[in-house]
Structures are given as structure tokens and as C-alpha cells.
Chains A and B, each alone.
Chain A
């Protein structure tokens, strides 16, 4: 990092929180430091990190001043009040553009806030802007954004993962200490792995989906992203909880994720039973990924955990089931983009143009290739004659995957695997080979099918110098276990490394000429 960089952007949210409470720094200073950092590294779209699709400098500074004023008056504020945050562009923000990375919603300004966004405002967080993503969260590289890819801060020629590549890259490039993502098949965890950051997909229903533009309603889950396990927990606590506006939201208390993260930071996991998932290793996993994973498992043993290998045989069918269920739900959810009520409308030339012609022209122009592929695939899987063989069978696989997890969690407290089989791809490497891109989600997808929570945290660097992620999975509504185990691993690894993995990220120089 160059000496001209304001130190504040390197602070994690917990440290910023303490300094804000002690009034050592103001939210305005912290917010301005991050806006300056964004201005320095994020653009231009062609060569910068390009983690943000929209930066709301004015409203962020105004909000920061409000929080500072409230604090000066002695108001009791939440622990993250005054801390800046980036929000994935799939969550609606009143008065701030929301595009979902699609031309279909270019320039659209939603008339309401997502519940998650409302929670952020209520907790005093300062929204810096909206982060880049694959179109409607369909993709694993962020190259399917209609507004151009996000670049990996570790190597500008590599992808940051996806679909939430913007939320992950913003953290790794020190543009924001916290971001919100959404995870339908790994869109929080896989980018976290590829950028050396932390991301959690909470239990399905643990965080409200109201205002989260739907991709696959039975799989989608918004969640917290940060640079440390504790920061991730602090944000998790802000956004989680029952929401009457989302009827699939769980009407139960949120597990004490912050307490669990603090407990885990001691590095002691005595009595914790950990299962290594046999099906999520071996063939297809790069040697450098396997090496870091094996070391992490050894570390869990050193921490006092009891580690066993477990087989979840139906996980081998999870990827196939997912790529039927997701397109099926997506084709239905994306039917609402019809050019009638909001977003793009393309009217073909000619007299007596009908609504149907407008819809077809609008959807042809508004959706990118990956969105079209999945809509067509979903339409096929749901059509008469194929429904039983494809969608019907995929739903049965889902049952088998859930049973495998239920059996496993009868024996262990958490399961672990590598988050992704490889480190970050080169930009363009998988663009014309959708199947190869889909295979990158093999380890993250099972959690979405089963509705269980999952975390990715940094496990080290592979031989190519790129980050590797460790995935931790827990039973539904036991999200706290992720934080205890994750914090223990993090504490031991950072002690080994002599600092966080991200302290090794090279200074951003942009795309090489």
C-alpha cells in the first residue's frame, strides 16, 4: 500500500467502531477516507477494480454527519453506527439506482428499501454505494455484469468470483470494511474465497429476502461480507432476524453470532466435532487448494477439535440438481421483466406493435447471454414432457442432499471443505464455457439446496499466490457454530502469518498495459 493511503481504510469494522464510539475519529472522516480510496482505485470501469456500479458520495457523507451529530448529542447507537458499507446491487435502495448488473434495470431507482437496507440505515451504517455483480446474480465471475467485470485486487487479470465479485473485491481493495452480498449457489462464499475475504450465507430464512431481487426464491439468501470473522458476525447481527414482509423468514431468535466469534478467537475448539466431507475433495480440486485445506484441517485438530471424515454420497448429484432448480425458478422470477411497469422498454418499429412484441424485443435487448441461457433452460425443464425427468428429479435429489446433511450433523457439529476447487480464473477464461464455470460452484451449492448456513474464510495462498478459502457448514439455525470455528481458524492462521492474509495483497496498479 502506498503511504498516501489513509490508514483508516485498513482498519476493520470492529476497530472503526471502537474509535467512533471513543470519538477518536468521526464517521465523516472514515467515510471520506473510503470515498477517496474508491476514487483512487475503483475506476475507470475498463481498468480499475470496478467493484462499484454506483457511488453515493453525497448521501453517504450526509448520513455520516448525521451519525456524528447523534453521537455528539449522546445518543445510544448500535456498534456499527458510522461505519461505511457497500451493498450488492441486487438489493433495492430507495432513491439510489438498483440495476442487478443488468441493462434491463439501467437507471431504475426503486421506490422502496429492502429490509436489509432498512436495517443498515436503522443501525447507523453509512451506505457508500452499490456493488457490481453478475447479471441478476447469474454467474461465478462477475464477468456477466452488463456494466463490465470487477477485477481481483490480488491480480488485475483475474476474476474476483461471482456473482458478488463487487462486494468481495471492495473489501480486498480496502474500498469498504463491510459489504452485503447474496448467495444462491455460492455468490457470497466463492468470491470470498477468491479474494481472501470472509463471507457468510446465513440459514435460509435467517435474513429477510424482502427487496432482494429474486433469482431462485428457494435458494436465495442475503448475508454479510467482511475482512474478519468478527466483523462478519457484527454485520450478521444487524441484518438477521424475522421480517413479517418475508413469509419465508424464520420467526425465531438469531443465534449469538458475535458471542460465538469472540469465543472462537481464543483459538480453542476443544470438544467441537468436525467432519471433512469426502465428496468435496480430490479430483477437480487444484493441488494448491488441497494443500491449504489439509493444513487447515490439521490446524482444527491442533485447536482441540475432533476431526472425522464423512461421506455424503448424494452431494455428487447436487450440482446437476442445482442447475435444473435454479434455472426453473429463475425463468419464473425473471418473467416480471416485461417492459411494462418499470425498467427497460424496447418498442420495435412498425404500426400496431403489440405488448407481446414489445416484451420479446425488450427481453432480447435487456438480458445478457447467461441470463437468456438460464431462462431457456428453466423453461425447458418446466415444460410438459420434461418436468418429471428434470425438475421433478432435481427436487428429489434435493431431499437426498438434505438427508445426507441431517445424518452428518447427527455425528458432527460442523462440516468443512475447500470453498472452491480452484483459485481465481483469468478474465475471459470461462466466458464461453458455461459448464466449466458452473463446476466452480460444486462445493458451495449443497448448502443452498439444504438451506443450511455456510462460511468461507481465508486459508492461505496457493502456489500461484492467489487466495484459497476454507468452507465451514453448520445445521440450520446454528449459524453461531460457523463463527466459533471460523474465528478459531482465523486466530491461529493470522498468528502463523504474522497478520491478516490481506496484508499481503499487492498495491493496486490497475490492469497491466
Chain B
């Protein structure tokens, strides 16, 4: 059984920017342990000489002519914003005080 500890889940939740309650962390740790146990077989299914595939279709270097084309207006882009001001997204402070 691959065990994933509660503190590991807490760390991952912090990396993923999701607040989790103690109860949620406990539940998540149990469920993720079971899932990881089931998927761990992949590492024994392959050998070093098998190349990795990240994408089903081998398209490379797709480009387009470098010409201006219409995009969203500022008003359209801001229409769904939780807060905006002066034609810009208004966001909470991004640095801690006394950083």
C-alpha cells in the first residue's frame, strides 16, 4: 500500500493553493493512498528503453502568419472579473506586509 501521509497532502494542498480542513486532509490522505496503490503498477510495466509519449498526434511547430487579428475588447475581457478598475483587473495585494 503506497501511503501518502496527512502532512504530505497538506503540503500538496498548499502547492495547489487549496485550503483544506483537518477532516478533509484525513479523508483525502486515505483516498489518495488507495488510488496511488492502484496506479503504481505503471512503473513496473515499462522499461527504460521505451520512449515517453506526451501527445497523441505528432504535430510540431504550428505557426500562423504574424498579422494583427481581432481579439477580445477590454470590456469583454473584464466583463466576468470579480473586480475591475480603470480598465484593469483589480486584485488583492500580492505581497505580504513587511516582506
> A218-B55, A372-B18, A399-B52 in contact; A380/B39 too (CB < 8 A)?
no
User: Contact check: which of A352, A395, A396 meets B97 at CB < 8 Å?
Assistant: A352
Query: C-beta contact mask, A454-481 vs B, less than 8 Å → 1, else 0?
Result: 0000000000000000000000100000
Give the distance to chain B from A117, nearest Cβ to Cβ, in Å.
16
- Compute how far the CA of A452 lies from the CA of B56 in the bound complex, rounded to whole angstroms: 8
Question: Can you list 17 A-B pairs with a CB-CB distance of less than 8 A?
Answer: A205-B57, A317-B45, A324-B39, A341-B80, A342-B80, A343-B82, A347-B92, A354-B95, A355-B93, A363-B16, A380-B32, A399-B51, A400-B46, A434-B31, A434-B34, A449-B56, A476-B57
B contacts, CB < 8 Å to A: 4, 8-9, 12-20, 24, 28, 31-32, 34-36, 38-43, 45-46, 50-57, 59, 62, 64, 72, 76-77, 79-83, 89, 91-97
In angstroms, Cα B51 to Cα A395, docked, is: 8
Q: Known A320-B41, A321-B42, A435-B38; judge A111-B80 contact (CB<8 A).
A: yes
Within 8 A of B (CB), among A391-438: 392-400, 402, 434-435, 438
CA distance A342 to B77 in the complex (A): 9
A340 and B89 contacting across the interface, CB-CB below 8 Å: yes
For the A-B complex with A112-B76, A392-B52, A435-B38 known, give 17 more contacts whose Cβ atoms are closer than 8 Å.
A218-B56, A247-B62, A248-B59, A320-B41, A323-B38, A331-B16, A335-B17, A340-B82, A347-B92, A353-B92, A358-B92, A373-B31, A376-B16, A379-B16, A380-B4, A395-B53, A400-B46
Kindly name the residue among A110, A250, A394 whose own CB sees the greatest number of chain B CB atoms within 10 A: A394
**Bound: A390/B79 CA distance, A:** 40
Chain B CB within 8 A of A494 CB: no
Contacts of B51 in A (CB 8 A): 396, 399
**A400-B42 Cα distance, complex, nearest whole Å:** 11
Decide if the interface of chain B is mainly helix, strand, loop or mixed. loop
Roughly how many angstroms separate A503 CA and B71 CA in the complex, as a whole number?
Answer: 47
Contact partner of B18 among A317, A363, A383, A450, CB < 8 A? A363
CA distance in complex: A314, B40 (Å): 15
Interface check A377, CB cutoff 8 A = yes
Interface residues of A in 432-451 (CB under 8 A from B): 434-435, 438, 449-451
**B46 contacts across to A, CB distance below 8 A:** 393, 396-397, 400
Q: Known: A108-B80, A354-B93. Is A244-B64 also a contact (CB below 8 A)?
A: yes
Of the residues A204, A373, A390, contact of B28 by C-beta under 8 Å: A373
A111 to B81, CA, bound (A): 11
CB distance from B32 to the nearest CB of A (A): 6
A435 in contact with B34 (CB, 8 Å): yes
Within 8 A of B (CB), among A277-305: none
The answer to whether the Cβ of A338 comes within 8 Å of any Cβ in the partner chain is yes
| Closest chain B CB from A449 CB (angstroms) | 7
B56 touching A396, Cβ below 8 Å: no
Chain B minimum-CB-distance residue to A98: B80
State A355–B45 Cα separation when bound (angstroms).
42
Q: How far is the CA of A42 from the CA of B74 in the complex (A)?
A: 37
User: Which residues of A are found within 8 Å of B57, using beta-carbon distances?
Assistant: 204-205, 248, 250, 451, 476
Nearest CB to that of B13 among chain A residues? A376
Residue numbers in A under 8 Å from B17 (CB-CB): 335, 338, 356, 359-360, 363
Which B residues lie within 8 Å of A342 (CB)? 80-82
Taking each of B32, B72, B80, B96, which has the highest tally of chain A beta carbons within 10 Å of its own beta carbon? B80
B42–A324 CB distance below 8 A = yes
For residue A322, which residue of chain B has the nearest CB? Answer: B39
Q: How far is the CA of A400 from the CA of B50 in the complex (A)?
A: 8
CB-defined contacts of B96 to chain A, threshold 8 Å: 352, 354
Q: Does A57 contact B (CB under 8 A)?
A: no
In Å, the complex CA distance between A108 and B34 comes to: 35
- A343 engages B91 (CB within 8 Å): no
The answer to whether B41 and A317 touch across the interface, beta carbons within 8 angstroms, is yes
